[in-house]
């Protein structure tokens, strides 16, 4: 019973979380100044690299 519940609820919860995150990001980007948006987009590759380094260090 619990396995079936988790099988149904977990994907739905993840989809809802992704949808909410998308809405929040779109609203934040639409209300930001253009210069702020450009700076954030330019910083994304560096931010991703930091998270990947952190993740690799944690796994060791």
* pLDDT 10s digits, 20-54: 999 988 888 788 887 877 887 888 888 888 888 87
CA distance 13 to 47: 26
Give pLDDT, residue 27: 86
Q: How confident is the model at residue 59 (pLDDT cuts 50, 70, 90)?
A: low
Confidence (pTM): 0.53
The pLDDT of residue 2 is above 90: no
Per 3-state DSSP, the chain is made up of helix, strand and coil in percentages (nearest 5) of: 95, 0, 5
Q: How confident is the model at residue 18 (pLDDT cuts 50, 70, 90)?
A: very high
Taking the chain, what is the end-to-end CA distance rounded to the nearest angstrom?
36
CA distance 58 to 52: 10
């Amino acid at each position: 019973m619990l396995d079936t519940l988790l099988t149904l609820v977990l994907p739905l919860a993840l989809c809802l979380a992704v949808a909410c995150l998308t809405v929040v990001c779109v609203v934040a980007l639409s209300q930001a100044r253009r210069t702020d948006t450009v700076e954030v987009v330019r910083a994304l590759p560096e931010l991703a690299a930091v998270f990947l380094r952190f993740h690799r260090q944690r796994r060791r």
